[in-house]
A and B are shown apart, each in its own frame.
Chain A
Amino acid sequence: MENSNSAVSLRNITKRFGATTANDHVTLDIRKGEILALLGENGSGKTTLMNMISGIYYPDEGQILINGKETVISSPKDAINLGIGMIHQHFKLVDVLTAAENIELGLGGKLNLKQTAKKIQEICSAYGFEVDPNQKVYDMSVSQKQTVEIVKVLYRGADILILDEPTAVLTPQETEKLFTVLRNMRDSGKAIVIITHKMHEVESISDRVAILRKGQYVGEKMTKDTNAQEMTNMMVGHTVALNIERPEPVSPKPRIEVKDLTVLDEEGIVKLDHVSFTAYSGEILGVAGISGCGQKELLEAIAGLQVTEPGSSISYITDDGQKEELIGKDPLEIQEMGVALSFVPEDRLGMGLVGSMDINDNMMLRSFRHGHTAFTDRKAPHEVAEQVVDELEVATPSLNTPVSRLSGGNVQKILVGREITTAPSVLLTAYAVRGLDINSSYTIYHLINEQKKQGVAVIYVGEDLDVLLELADRILVLCGGKVSGILPGRNAIKSQVGMMMTHMGGTKGDEK
C-alpha cells in the first residue's frame, strides 16, 4: 500500500554544501491527488530538497523513487521528462525575452510564437490570469513575472508540481486564482507540493503538511488536524507567541511631510499622483496597496532615488520644528543632513546587498565613508555583523560567507538588521518580511516596534493585510498611484482596506 499512491518518495536524502548539511536523511512521500505544504524556517532545507527533485541539485546520499520506481534525476531535463514542474522562488526568466519566448524555452519542435501566444491566451482565459505574451520580462512587475512562471508550468503540463513560495508577491486575488487552479489540478490526480510561510494559506490550500527543521524531517500532520500554533512550534522546536504588540505612539511629532508628490516613470506614465501625507515620529505608518501601485516609487522618492515632478515637496521636520526640503538632494546628502533613511528595497539582493561579498563587507556598505584615514574601519562593521547574526539568529556557517550562499530568508534578515542598526530617525521598509518564515517575521515586527518606541518614524510597506492591521498605527492605502485614504490602524476593517486598494476611496462607483 505504501507506494501505490506516491508520486515521489524520498528515502534518506542527504545533501551537503561544504560544511553545512542542508538536508539530513530526509524521508518524505509526495502523494497523487494531494496538496502537500512543506514547512520550515528559513534555511531549513525546503528549497534544497525540492531542487533535488527538479534536478538542480544532486543528492549526496539516499534514493528518489518516482511512481514507486527508483530513479536517477541528474539534470532538470530528466525531471521535466518525468513530468516534474517547479516554480522556483527566484524567477527563472530571461529578462530580454518576451513572456511567450520564456514560456517556449527548452521545448522542442518548430518555433511558432504566434501559436504560443494563442495557447497562452487560452490558458489565461481558462484560469483567469492575465499575461501579455509579447511583453518583455524586464517591463514586468514582480507579480506579473510570477504569473508568467505559473502559466509556464501550466503550458508545459506537469504531473508533479512543486511551487516554492509562489504567493510571496501575489495579491490576495491572484493567490486565490492560483489556489483554484491548484485545487483543480489536485482533483485531477496530480501531486502538488507548495512551500509558503503564510499560515492561513497553508490552512486553506493544503491537505497535509510536512515539516523540516534544520535540514531534518520533523514530522507530518493532516492539515485539518492541526493549527498554526502547532505547526509553528514544530518548525521552530519550541513554543512561539504569535501576536504582534502595538504600543501607543509616545508624543508623536510630524517628521516627514509629503505634499503633492508626483512621479512619472521612464515612459511618462504616472506612478504617483499628488500624494500628500505626514508621517509622525514614534508611529508606524503602514502603506497598503496592490503591488505596483506606487509603493516603490514613494519610498524611493523619500530616499532620494526617484526623480520627482515639479510641485512635489517632501520635507523633513526636525525636533524643533524646522523644515528641510529633501527633493533635489541625492541619497548621500540626505544622509549627511542628519536624516537617516533606512531602505529595505523590494528586490533585496538586487539593490540592498552584494551577493558575492560576505556579511562583514555588506555591513560595511553603509559605513565605509566613516573614519578619517584612507583605510576603512573593518572592526565596526564586523561588530554590527556579529550583532545582527546573533540577534536575528541568521543561519550562516560564518561571517565570512558570501551572502548569496545563504538562504533567501537569512539574506533578508541581514538586510533588515543592517538598516535598523544605523539608528535611523526615519525607517522606510518595503516588504521587510517577504520570504521570511513566521518566527523571523515576528522577530522583524518586534525590531520595527523597538524602533517605533525609540521615536523613529516608520513607513512600512507590506503585502500581508492581516499584519498591517495588527502592526500599523495608521494605514495609508494607495490605489493606482493616488492616496485612496488614510485609516487609523486600530479599528480598520480588512475588507474596507481591500476595497480601498481597488477603488478610490473605497466606493464601488467607477467599476467597468
Chain B
Amino acid sequence: MFDFISFIPRAVVQGIPLLFGSTGETLSEKAGNLNLGIPGVMYTGGICGVIGAFLYEQSVPNKADIIPLFAILVPLLSCLLGSLLMGLIYCFLTVNLRANQNVTGLAMTTFGVGIGNFFGGSLIKLSGSAVPSIALSTTSSFFHAGLPFADDLGWFGKIFLSYGFLAYAAIAISLVTAYVLRRTRTGLHLRSIGESPATADAAGINVKKYKYVATCLGCMIAGLGGLYYVMDYASGVWSNNAFGDRGWLAIALVIFTIWRPNVGVLSSILFGGLYILHMYIPSGTNLAIKELYKMLPYVVTIVVLILTSTRKKREDQPPQSLGLPYFREER
C-alpha cells in the first residue's frame, strides 16, 4: 500500500527548493533575462548560509547561549547577500556589457558550484570533522521547527503543518510574485520588458532598472532555495555536491508552470514527488530501474513543452525577448 502520509511531506520538502528556484527564475525571465546561473546561485545561497551559521555558531562558545533570532537572521542575511552578489554579476555582464546570456549563465553555474565546494571544503577542514561534511544541527533546529501544534493533529498536522518557516515563505513568495506579475503596474512593466524591451523603453520604462531589480530579486529568492535545502531538508548538514541537479530541475519547473509562479506551488510538490518516487516504488534489487524513475520530472517537462507548443497559445509561450540583450540605439 502506497503510504501517502509519509510520501506527501517528503515530496513537499523536496519541492520547496525547486519552488524557490523556479519563482526566482520566472521573475528573471519575465524581465527577459534567461538566467541559467540559477543552479549556481542556489548553491551559493546555500553555502553562504552555511558560512554565516558556522561563524555564528563558532562565535558563541556555549550552544545553550545561541539566540534563535540571530541563528536564523545571520544565515538568512548571508544567503541573501551571497545570491544578490551573484545576481549583480550576472546583470552587469548581460545588461551593461550585453554578454550572451546563455554563456554567462552557464559560467555562473560553474562558478557558483565552485564557490560552494571551495568554501564547503574549507569549512569541513576547519571544523575538523571525521566525515566530509559539516553539521550545523543547532541552527538547523530553528529552521526546521514546524508549527507547535503540528504533532497533535495527526495526519493533517503532518501533511500541512510540519514544515519549517521557509517552506511557508516559499509558497507566500510565489503567490505574491504571481499577483505582482498579473495584477500590478510593476508586473505589467516587467512583462512588457520581457516581451519587447524597445516598446517598454519607448513608453518611458527604465529597462535597465527593471532588469536589474527583477534578476537580483530572482537570484535572492532562488538563493533561499539553497538555504532551505541545507538548513531544513538536509538538517544543517553540508557536504559538497549533495545539492545535486535541483537547480536544473527548478529551471525545468519554470517551463512546466508556463511562467506562472502560482502554478509552481503545486507543480513543485509534484516535481518533488516524482523526484523521490523511486524510493516508494518497489523495484527489487535492480538499481537501474531507480535511475529511470529519476528521469520522471524531466520527462514530464518535455511532455508539457510539447503540449504548450502544440496548443500555440501566445500567452503560454516564453517571453519573446527572452535571452536577447537590449541596446536602445540598435538598428
Q: Which residue of A lies closest to B199 (CB)?
A: A92
Q: Do A105 and B205 touch (CB < 8 A)?
A: yes
What's the Cα separation between A88 and B201 when bound, in Å?
13
Q: Do B195 and A111 touch (CB < 8 A)?
A: no
Residue in contact with A111 in the complex, picked from B184, B192, B200, CB distance below 8 Å = B184
14 more A-B contacts (CB under 8 A) besides A77-B204, A96-B317, A108-B185?
A57-B329, A75-B201, A77-B205, A77-B206, A79-B204, A94-B191, A94-B200, A95-B195, A95-B320, A97-B191, A97-B192, A105-B199, A105-B200, A111-B184
Judge if A127 is at the interface, Cβ distance under 8 Å: no
Q: Do A111 and B183 touch (CB < 8 A)?
A: yes
Residues of A near B328 (CB, < 8 A) are 56-57, 75
Residues of B near A86 (CB, < 8 A) are 202
Nearest chain A CB to B247 CB, angstrom units: 28
Q: Do B195 and A97 touch (CB < 8 A)?
A: yes
Residue in contact with B185 in the complex, picked from A79, A95, A111, CB distance below 8 Å = A111
Nearest chain B CB to A62 CB, angstrom units: 16
Q: Do B204 and A106 touch (CB < 8 A)?
A: yes
Judge if B63 is at the interface, Cβ distance under 8 Å: no
Q: Do A76 and B331 touch (CB < 8 A)?
A: no
Give residues of chain B (304-331) contacting chain A, Cβ–Cβ below 8 Å.
314-315, 317, 320, 328-329, 331
Residues of B near A54 (CB, < 8 A) are 202
Give residues of chain A (297-351) contacting chain B, Cβ–Cβ below 8 Å.
none
Judge if A136 is at the interface, Cβ distance under 8 Å: yes
What's the Cα separation between A57 and B330 when bound, in Å?
9
Ordered by A's residue number, 17 sampled pairs between the chains whose C-beta atoms are within 8 Å are A17-B331, A56-B202, A57-B328, A75-B206, A77-B204, A77-B205, A79-B204, A80-B203, A88-B202, A94-B195, A95-B314, A96-B191, A97-B188, A105-B189, A105-B203, A106-B189, A106-B205
Q: Is the interface of A mostly helix, strand, loop or mixed?
A: loop
Judge if B88 is at the interface, Cβ distance under 8 Å: no
Residues of B near A69 (CB, < 8 A) are none
Give residues of chain B (148-206) contacting chain A, Cβ–Cβ below 8 Å.
183-185, 188-189, 191-192, 195-196, 198-206
Q: Mark A95-126, 1 if CB is under 8 A from B, else 0.
A: 11100011011111111000000000000000
What's the Cα separation between A346 and B1 when bound, in Å?
63
What's the Cα separation between A88 and B202 when bound, in Å?
9
Nearest chain A CB to B270 CB, angstrom units: 26
Q: Do A94 and B196 touch (CB < 8 A)?
A: yes
Q: What's the interface size class on A, roughly?
A: 20 to 34
Q: Do B201 and A76 touch (CB < 8 A)?
A: yes
Which of A75, A92, A96, A110 gathers the greatest number of chain B CB atoms within 10 Å?
A96
Give residues of chain B (21-74) contacting chain A, Cβ–Cβ below 8 Å.
none
Q: Which residue of B lies closest to A104 (CB)?
A: B188
Residues of B near A94 (CB, < 8 A) are 191-192, 195-196, 199-200
Q: Which residue of B lies closest to A17 (CB)?
A: B331
Residue in contact with B314 in the complex, picked from A92, A138, A405, CB distance below 8 Å = A138
Q: Which residue of B lies closest to A105 (CB)?
A: B203
Q: Do B203 and A92 touch (CB < 8 A)?
A: yes
Judge if A445 is at the interface, Cβ distance under 8 Å: no
Q: Which residues of B contact A (CB under 8 A)?
A: 183-185, 188-189, 191-192, 195-196, 198-206, 314-315, 317, 320, 328-329, 331
Q: Do B185 and A110 touch (CB < 8 A)?
A: yes
What's the Cα separation between A138 and B202 when bound, in Å?
19
Residues of B near A88 (CB, < 8 A) are 202
Nearest 4 pairs of A and B residues by beta carbon? A106-B203, A106-B204, A77-B204, A105-B203
Residues of A near B192 (CB, < 8 A) are 94, 97, 105
Q: Do B203 and A76 touch (CB < 8 A)?
A: yes
Judge if A93 is at the interface, Cβ distance under 8 Å: yes
Residues of A near B331 (CB, < 8 A) are 17, 404-405
Q: Which residue of A lies closest to B198 (CB)?
A: A92
Nearest chain B CB to A248 CB, angstrom units: 44
Nearest chain B CB to A395 CB, angstrom units: 13
Residues of B near A104 (CB, < 8 A) are 185, 188
Q: Which residue of B lies closest to A112 (CB)?
A: B185
Residues of A near B199 (CB, < 8 A) are 92-94, 102, 105
Residues of A near B203 (CB, < 8 A) are 76, 80, 92, 105-106
Residues of A near B183 (CB, < 8 A) are 111
Q: Do B202 and A76 touch (CB < 8 A)?
A: yes
Residue in contact with A136 in the complex, picked from B188, B196, B201, B314, CB distance below 8 Å = B314
Which of A95, A109, A138 gathers the greatest number of chain B CB atoms within 10 Å?
A95
Given A58-B329, A86-B202, A88-B202, the answer on whether A96 and B189 have CB atoms closer than 8 Å is: no
Residues of B near A101 (CB, < 8 A) are 188
Residues of B near A75 (CB, < 8 A) are 201, 204, 206, 328
Q: Which residue of B lies closest to A97 (CB)?
A: B192
Residue in contact with A56 in the complex, picked from B185, B196, B200, B329, CB distance below 8 Å = B329
Nearest chain A CB to B178 CB, angstrom units: 15
Q: Do A111 and B188 touch (CB < 8 A)?
A: yes
Nearest chain A CB to B256 CB, angstrom units: 19
Which of A80, A92, A138 gathers the greatest number of chain B CB atoms within 10 Å?
A92
What's the Cα separation between A80 and B195 when bound, in Å?
21
What's the Cα separation between A32 and B203 when bound, in Å?
23
Nearest chain A CB to B275 CB, angstrom units: 32
Residues of B near A138 (CB, < 8 A) are 314
Residues of B near A95 (CB, < 8 A) are 195-196, 314, 320
Nearest chain A CB to B72 CB, angstrom units: 35
Q: Do B204 and A76 touch (CB < 8 A)?
A: yes
Q: Which residue of B lies closest to A93 (CB)?
A: B199
Nearest chain B CB to A404 CB, angstrom units: 7
Give residues of chain A (64-95) contacting chain B, Cβ–Cβ below 8 Å.
75-77, 79-81, 86, 88, 92-95
What's the Cα separation between A79 and B198 when bound, in Å?
15
Residues of A near B204 (CB, < 8 A) are 75-77, 79-81, 106
Q: Which residue of B lies closest to A401 (CB)?
A: B331
What's the Cα separation between A54 and B196 when bound, in Å?
18
Nearest chain A CB to B111 CB, angstrom units: 30
Q: Which residue of B lies closest to A91 (CB)?
A: B199
What's the Cα separation between A77 and B203 when bound, in Å?
7
Q: Do B206 and A105 touch (CB < 8 A)?
A: no
What's the Cα separation between A94 and B204 when bound, in Å?
14
Nearest chain A CB to B201 CB, angstrom units: 6
Residues of A near B201 (CB, < 8 A) are 56, 75-76
Q: Which residue of A lies closest to B206 (CB)?
A: A77
Residues of B near A93 (CB, < 8 A) are 196, 199
What's the Cα separation between A77 and B202 when bound, in Å?
8
Given A110-B185, A111-B183, A111-B185, the answer on whether A96 and B315 have CB atoms closer than 8 Å is: yes
What's the Cα separation between A97 and B184 when bound, in Å?
14
What's the Cα separation between A38 and B192 when bound, in Å?
31
Q: Which residue of B lies closest to A77 (CB)?
A: B204
What's the Cα separation between A94 and B314 when bound, in Å?
12
Nearest chain A CB to B29 CB, angstrom units: 14
Residues of A near B205 (CB, < 8 A) are 77, 105-106
